[in-house]
A and B are shown apart, each in its own frame.
Chain A
Amino acid sequence: MTALLAALLIGALVAFVLWALSGPFRARAAAARPGDSDARRALESAKESKYAEIRDNETDYRTGKLSDVDYRELDRQLRAEAVEILRAIDEFDAANPAPSD
């Protein structure tokens, strides 16, 4: 009885493994959208990081670690960097339009 159970268990495992590993070869490949690409993702991450930096800068100012002058100068610089990233995203999207449905 135990031997039968063991055989069934291993059989089920092998079947599961074969099914799982062969799945990508059986499925149709989905069309990649520009939003899915690594380059787009990297730009999105860079944007998020830059926004986090802008917020951090503002928090530092509000908690008294930066003077007025330093804060505004840094804020200008960071927003300019954010703008560059947004431009890069726009350029990427323009060069890689999403396929029409």
Chain B
Amino acid sequence: MAFAGRLALVLALVVCVYGIAAALYGARRGRRDWVDSGRRSIYCLAAILTVAMAILEVAFIRNDFSYNTVANTSSTTTPLLYRAAAMWSSQEGSLLLWVWLLSIWASVATVITRNRLRDIVPYASSVLLGFGAFFTTLLVFFDSPFAQTHPAPVQGAGLDPLLRNPSMLIHPPMLYSGYTFFTIPFAFAVGALVVRRVDADWIRVTRRFALASWLFLGIGILLGARWSYYELGWGGYWGWDPVENAALMPWLISTAFLHSVMIQEKRGMLKIWNASLVLGASTLAIVGTFLVRSGVLNSIHAFGASTLGIPFVALIAAMTGGSIYLVVSRRDVLRSEHTLDSLFSREAAFLLNNVVLVGLCFVIFWGTFFPLISKAVTGTSAAVGPPWFDRYTVPLALILVLLSGVGPAIAWRRATLANARRNFLLPLGAAAAMAVAAYTVVPISSSIGVVLLFCAAAFVFASVGQEFWRGWRARRATSRDSPPLAFLSMVRRNRRRYGGYIVHLGIAVLFIGVAASATFQHEQTLSLQVGQSTKVGAYTMKYVRATGSVVTDPNHTGATMTLGAVLRVTRGGHYVGTLRPSAGYFPSSPIVPGLVVASLISGDAVDQIGLQSSWRRDLWAAIKPLGTTLPANGTQLPEEQLISKADALIPANEPGADQLSLAYYLLRAIVTHYRNFPPPASFTLIASPLVMWIWIGGLIVLLGGLTAIWPAPSALRSRVRARYLARVAQELGRA
């Protein structure tokens, strides 16, 4: 079936090339049949790649190690759910996932626009099929997921234990959905510029897909941050890693686009800006894909060095050059129809918001690529770390939060001083009250940055809350709805507006969590003996006892040995909670004869965090049971001397199964010894306020995004349209 998979990819490439040619020929010659045939190529691509995905998934599920990608990333000991997801832990499998998702979303876009934008669709189809051709070319000629080895190995290398986390099941599909969704507004932007048509219809289609990209990418980024916090053992959720930054940059640019496209809709302004933003966001999404696969920058998220760097650079160069050419050559079509009425208007606030977002993106871009820039200029690669990023992003983030409270409270076109007084009084009052609280009740006054951010957040809460209150009151005044129904119908009738307000609330909540946890975190990394305590902020953490267990799992689906600790946490003498961090030791593959006991635990070691989370603070602990380094394989193992002695006890001439049985017995004895006579262990202990606000804020942003993207009920649209039609017709009659 691998051969069928390879043929399917070749067929996919042929279909892409045909589709591009058919769509362009049909557009040039005005031949609807050729255009439709080109459009159908997208559906065919989706069908073919679905078959290819299914072939590879079956291989993973059936443990067919003749497939190199299955052998490299899975094993008989990998649980079924992770086996099914292991496909996208490999370079070639993730490329297949990428292009499959692209074909699915492209098919959805093609169905939605089947009777619209007929002059634009051929060019948009060509661009989408062009992306399809690029990725299938990589799969056919560079990195095939159907490459095989014969004879097939008996066992696979297994999935990296760091990836055995529920977040990692969904994080890559979400992230790739975001990246691939960006190709659709890109394609329609290119098509619109080619035919010189950037009207309201194009905006409607493009905006919805840009919002979907923004939503998926945002979910992907948040899941990645959660994985980092819960799994990587350093206690942080954002490290300004190049791959993290590469996902954030298109998200920032698309946030800017989603705001400024509203101005284009209403006033016909910022067309050059919007075209540049949508083209830029998509290009940055491809840059993000490139960073993961090229190995040009070090990252825990990257697949490592590969031969794919040059093709990706060529694609990015083509996208950048083509985008610049189109925007410059079509600047007559992109001329603004109006100018800014007033600097004190929602348009002006959105414009400032966009400048800040683009500025943030530029800072992150500069910092991310600084190693390459410095190497090109000075010959030496120099990296910048989190302090550099924080120095420049924090002030911009503060302005962003503030603007998310200004926008809802200000009118389109122009606001008057009288209205400004009315609309800003409450939010300013809330900000002032927060400032007073910061220096009296809430213990944050030691950091002016945090105080300012809390004040900005209070401003946002009050501003958005005021909008909901007034909108609800206005709805109740004009309808007979009950209070809850009035609220729901208010949101339903204006999902974009209120969905956006909910997003702003979520951003404020998220940034409160980030500011507080980053600034007021207390951290200790130290060695403790059983019975010893240490203070972490206001909390006392005592190492009560060591824990340890051995799992006899012939299938080796999890850690063979787990060593941990019980930590008792008190505050002011009162019991707060118990943390149970541990370290899981996985078997190496294969089991080394003569080192059976060591092999059972010298594979990957994974931290299992001890965590107590509440809305006020997180208590976080990680443990590294101390040991010495075995020279043979460099793995740091606890109880190294005992392990060596245990290995020496196992007769070399025993059958393998008996050796293994004895090894488990001896390992249990070692773990019992560890529990009873634990050596000092190294702990990382953290007390961090308001971390949960980050995840809650993210959920609120997600809710707002879903509210904004949800289509309005068509019956309602018809009724509203009919009513306005009647009113406009009435005016016409009077004129």
Give me the interface of A with B, judged by CB distance under 8 Å. 2-3, 5-7, 9-10, 13-14, 16-17, 20-25, 29, 36-38, 41-42, 44-46, 48-49, 51-57, 59-60, 62-67, 70, 74, 79, 82-83, 86
- Which of B29-37, B428-436, B442-450 is the contact stretch? B29-37
The answer to whether the Cβ of B118 comes within 8 Å of any Cβ in the partner chain is yes
Within 8 Å by CB of B419, from A6, A14, A66, lies A66
Q: Are A83 and B265 in contact (CB under 8 A)?
A: no
Interchain nearest-CB distance for B13 vs A (Å)? 12
Within 8 Å by CB of A13, from B8, B116, B470, lies B8
Contacts of B731 in A (CB 8 A): 79, 83
The answer to whether the Cβ of B56 comes within 8 Å of any Cβ in the partner chain is no
Contacts of A52 in B (CB 8 A): 265
Within 8 Å by CB of A22, from B37, B265, B418, lies B37
The answer to whether the Cβ of B335 comes within 8 Å of any Cβ in the partner chain is no
Q: Are A21 and B51 in contact (CB under 8 A)?
A: no
Q: Which of B46-105 contact A (CB under 8 A)?
A: 47-48, 51
Residue of B nearest to A70 (CB): B416
A-B pairs, top 3 by smallest CB distance, nearest first, are: A6-B4, A62-B474, A24-B36
Within 8 Å by CB of B11, from A5, A13, A38, A62, lies A13
Within 8 Å by CB of B201, from A14, A36, A42, lies A42
Give A51 to B720 CA distance when docked, in angstroms: 9
Interchain residue pairs with CB less than 8 A apart (22)? A6-B7, A10-B7, A17-B44, A17-B48, A20-B44, A21-B22, A21-B40, A23-B36, A23-B40, A44-B201, A45-B201, A46-B199, A46-B200, A49-B203, A51-B721, A54-B724, A55-B494, A56-B497, A64-B470, A65-B411, A79-B728, A82-B728
Q: Are A2 and B44 in contact (CB under 8 A)?
A: no
The answer to whether the Cβ of B668 comes within 8 Å of any Cβ in the partner chain is no
Residue of A nearest to B721 (CB): A51
A86 touching B728 in the complex, CB below 8 Å, given contacts A16-B44, A21-B18, A45-B204: yes
Give A62 to B419 CA distance when docked, in angstroms: 12
Contacts of A5 in B (CB 8 A): 1, 4
Q: Which of B459-495 contact A (CB under 8 A)?
A: 467, 470-471, 474, 477, 493-494
Give A45 to B199 CA distance when docked, in angstroms: 9
Q: Are A42 and B47 in contact (CB under 8 A)?
A: no
Give A21 to B43 CA distance when docked, in angstroms: 10
Q: Are B419 and A49 in contact (CB under 8 A)?
A: no
Contacts of B411 in A (CB 8 A): 60, 65-66, 70
Give A29 to B33 CA distance when docked, in angstroms: 8
The number of A-B residue pairs with CB atoms under 8 Å apart is 148
Contacts of B43 in A (CB 8 A): 20
Q: Which of B603-624 contact A (CB under 8 A)?
A: none
A24 touching B728 in the complex, CB below 8 Å, given contacts A46-B199, A65-B423, A67-B418: no
Q: Are B33 and A24 in contact (CB under 8 A)?
A: yes
Give A82 to B11 CA distance when docked, in angstroms: 50
Residue of B nearest to A22 (CB): B37
Within 8 Å by CB of B471, from A51, A59, A70, lies A59
Residue of B nearest to A46 (CB): B200
The answer to whether the Cβ of B574 comes within 8 Å of any Cβ in the partner chain is no
Give A64 to B426 CA distance when docked, in angstroms: 13
Interchain nearest-CB distance for B650 vs A (Å)? 42
Residue of A nearest to B725 (CB): A86
Give A54 to B22 CA distance when docked, in angstroms: 42
Give A37 to B729 CA distance when docked, in angstroms: 24
Q: Are B4 and A21 in contact (CB under 8 A)?
A: no
Q: Are B728 and A17 in contact (CB under 8 A)?
A: no
Contacts of A59 in B (CB 8 A): 471, 474, 494, 497
Give A41 to B204 CA distance when docked, in angstroms: 11
The answer to whether the Cβ of B536 comes within 8 Å of any Cβ in the partner chain is no
Interchain nearest-CB distance for B45 vs A (Å)? 9
Give A17 to B50 CA distance when docked, in angstroms: 13
Give A60 to B530 CA distance when docked, in angstroms: 64
Give A36 to B119 CA distance when docked, in angstroms: 12
The answer to whether the Cβ of B316 comes within 8 Å of any Cβ in the partner chain is no
Give A40 to B409 CA distance when docked, in angstroms: 36
The answer to whether the Cβ of B691 comes within 8 Å of any Cβ in the partner chain is no
Give A55 to B497 CA distance when docked, in angstroms: 11
Q: Are B11 and A6 in contact (CB under 8 A)?
A: no
Give A13 to B48 CA distance when docked, in angstroms: 7
The answer to whether the Cβ of B115 comes within 8 Å of any Cβ in the partner chain is yes
Interchain nearest-CB distance for A39 vs B (Å)? 10
Interchain nearest-CB distance for B427 vs A (Å)? 13
The answer to whether the Cβ of B17 comes within 8 Å of any Cβ in the partner chain is no
Contacts of B41 in A (CB 8 A): 21
Q: Are A48 and B200 in contact (CB under 8 A)?
A: yes
Give A55 to B204 CA distance when docked, in angstroms: 17
Contacts of A65 in B (CB 8 A): 409-411, 415, 419, 423
Q: Are A42 and B37 in contact (CB under 8 A)?
A: no
Give A46 to B204 CA distance when docked, in angstroms: 10
The answer to whether the Cβ of B732 comes within 8 Å of any Cβ in the partner chain is yes
Residue of B nearest to A58 (CB): B474
Contacts of A2 in B (CB 8 A): 1
Q: Are B47 and A13 in contact (CB under 8 A)?
A: yes
